[in-house]
Structure 1
Amino acid sequence: MVPYKFYDVKGPNSESNPNVDSSSWVLCTEVQLETILLKNIEIIYNDTVPKLVALGYSEEIAVKAILYNGHCYGANDLATNVLHNSLACLTTGTLDLSESSPAFPDMKKLQEYSLMNLVSLLKEVRPDLSRGDAMWCLLMSNFHVLKAGAIPVPVGNTCPPPPPPLPELENTGWRFAKEGGLGFPLNGLFSDTDMTIRLQRDIEFPKRFDLTPAMKSLLKRNVAMFADGFRANSKQVQPQASEFPRTGSVSKLGSSSASGTAAVLGEQPGDSHNQNDQEDLNSVMSKFLDLNIDDNVEFVPEDDKEEVIVTLVNQIKDLEKQVKERKDWAHEKAIQAAKKLSSDLIELKKFKMEREENKKLPKETGAAEELDNPTMMRLSEMENALRKTSGQMDQATAAVRKLEAEKAEIKAELEASKLSASESVTSCLQVAKREKKCLKKLLTWEKQKVKIHQDISDEKQKILEIQEELAQIKQCAKETEVTRKEELKAKEEALALIEEERRSKEAAEANHKRNLKALRLKIEIDFQRRKDDLLRLEQEISRLKAPARSTTLPTSESEDAEPQRETLAKLLLELDNVKDFSGKEINGDRECIICGKDEVSVIFLPCAHQVMCARCGKEYGKKGKAVCPCCRVPIEERIPIFGACS
């Protein structure tokens, strides 16, 4: 395919990389040009989606609208046309995006269709354009068909222009510069600032290509080595070059010197060297084209690699041409100086002969002396010019030697560049293999990533379920805690109530014991009093019975004894009642406090209380700690007793 050359326009990568010269030309094939256009169209469509999303539409609706009506027709550029057509589809509501199927299955088909339509439309406007010319015009006009129709297509400029001939270089003051190359100023040398800027631009030029770090470092190292050597040589040559004659003096030379210079230049073998470089370039390009990469593998485009190689080869050619031109210039200056020196020597010899003749002639008049003085002055001037010319010739010889040394260095740099190019091809092949492996690993990792994402979603679902269960458990725990607190409070209240009942019971028991003791004391006192009364009455009865035995009693005594008998009968009746009461009281005090039937027969130690029968004493305290029911003292030992009545 015919390569296309872009003159004085911004290339496709110039906006993304400010280090690239916007006036540089780029060589690319029709397929590579189509690839660049498709990438630009893809960027435009991808940028349209967020613009529609920013207007309030969802991403899915925006993509569907672009697939429905995002065509490239309109009076503006491609980006504006796509945005307006998609908005028209969304605002008018002519299509139901949720039910009807889109016109294109995906964005890639739409992009290819848009490029095909733009090329067809431009070829209808300008039938003389080929497909490659149409694509080039679209790229230069940013996909604006009206502007693309007015862009002139360069004809016959598929290769870089040859360097200008020597007369043109002489007329222009040795100022020649190729895009991306180096140039001489009017005095034949570089200024430090100009040289630094140009060399820095040449070093940074490959940044606009997607190169590997190894290739970038290799290119930078080679160019930096040459730049350092060239800068050092130029600093050494610059003080000597200040004494060189300007270009104007070169144009004043005779035809003989020009012909001699042309003869010297004609001896330089430039065509064969250029042919060898072209063969090397073709071999390197063929190695790049032989790279076997799978269709599904995204790799660095071959046009970038070719551009790097072409740029390096062109820079090497430019440097060789510069060395050749400078060497020719030095040879020419040396020839001119030699010719001028020979003419000056002849004239000097002539003047010396005249001087010797004048010395032999007698000095006749003062006028003759006046005539000799200008001759002597001219002779001294010629000697000074001869010395100056000899110095210039020495300087020219030194410059020629330095140029030869530079030529040797440039040849070595050329060999190093060829070697680095072959190493770059090898490294590219290795990188391609590594990239295949990396892509396989990437596919495996993508599968693992999908699986891990699925596992993560499952784990997140489990975490949500566990969190819900945890929330329920926490709620139940809160409710249980509230219930426990309520039960604890009720228990404390019950314990307080039990304690209060126990205290009241103890108080009642103590009161009962006091009352019982008081009652027993009263009973004993009453019993003793009754007993004393009974004894007294029995004594009185016995005393009274003694007089009754007598048969004869006076009447008055019998009348007095009748009330005494009634009183005695009443006392006996009360005594019987008292006996019955005391027996009952004593029997009630000996009954078991639990069953209330049997007599108490168990003593609790250490309190020594006797309040239970043997049967109840065995059962008491089995369900808990046994305490005495009277004093609430823990029971340590139970002693059964027999014969409590005795």
Structure 2
Amino acid sequence: FSDSTTSSLKASSKVGKGFSASMKGPEVPPDLSFTGAALPSNPSFDAKLSSNLNPLPAASTDLSLSLPLPSSNDSPAPSSNHDANTEGMDSSSKINLSYDEDQKVWIPQDKKDEMVLILVQRQKELQAHMRDWTDWAQQKVMQVTRRLAKEKEELHSLRKEKEEADRLQEERHNLEESTRKKLLEMESAISRANTQLEKAESSARRREAENEQLRIQMEAAKRHALVSATNILELSKKDENSHKRSQHWESERALLQEDLAAQRNKLSQVHQQLHHAKEQKDQIQARWRQEEAGKIEAIARVSLEKKERDQIETSLRSEENFLHLKAENDTQRYKSQIRALEQQISQLKVSLDSLRVGAPPKWGADNRTNALRLSEGRKNGSAQILANIAAVPQDFDFDDIQRDRECVMCLSEEMSVVFLPCAHQVVCAKCNDLHDKQGMKECPSCRTPIQRRVCARLAGC
């Protein structure tokens, strides 16, 4: 806003650079002296003067602040301050002014005096406008500062929520990695258990084959023992017959006894072999029982591991479903919070736009009382303002200011139409009619839907 104030002072200095004044009275300067630059006497001077003084640079749209144009009510009538002009007018001879006691106004003697009075009154009006605009700009700056502070807190909370979501996602990823590792370890353990089970089954089949062979041998030994028992019975019968015939067969008896002793030895050997076969059978059966017990234990261990794996998989699936459900709930909650924040932001924008549309402070009906009240504050700063006006360069160019007021569509006419509720002033009256006839309902600057079009011009245009 310092640029806007400087531009307004420069605009007023271009008109008043041909004279210098020292303020001694409360409102009207008693001493006016011209430095040599003659004022034009052309009747069209008033229109040029007002066109050079009134343009103000448009506010920057980067901060979304639109300066409302001052209305015609902001400029008090020149006759409202003449009651205070009666003090200190001791040098009226220098500017050839006469004071009318009945009407209580200064009467100019020629066009030059009339222009002096107009310029002095215009200077006071510009000073009043400058103070009003300065107060209004400070209010807007404070509003923007509060809004930025609030949005900064909201942005900080959103960043915290995003960091929390990222942390949950990372924890979920770590949990999936650990679960995958556990599954791989369980699969390797199951494969090792299957290998051991296959080895146990092959060993059991081998033991069964050995048992079958031993069973065959035992049956053969039983048959041989049965044959031996039959032979023993036959030999006993022969022995009895031989005993009966002992007298006749003594020599044969000795042979038969020897044969009997040999058969008895063979029988004892067969008994020993049978006992040894029984012992081997018992040992094989004991080993087979041990292997069966180991097989049953291995099967039980494998089934237990399968059961544990199923339980772990079930718990992991339930935990994963819980995490999915929790993530979806968190996502929905975050989305609802984001929508609520966006609604709050839109409401804040609407309230800010409604504040932008508000007019700057206006003058009441009692302009004379307000002018008398403001005259005390103007008296002290008038000398400094005139010094700043005199310091403006002689070759100052107002093309840049006019360029800021150009219509964005035709780039030739001055902007004169305000779009509501965004309060942007970017087109002229002709381009506004064309814009409306073509059915365009959005602001060319911010794309906000247009609810109302207000044709407004600067005061005095």
Could you tell me the TM-score, scaled by structure 1's length? Answer: 0.29
Compare relative contact order (CA 8 Å, sep 6+) and give the higher one, 1 or 2.
2
Larger radius of gyration: 1
Could you tell me the TM-score, scaled by structure 2's length? Answer: 0.38
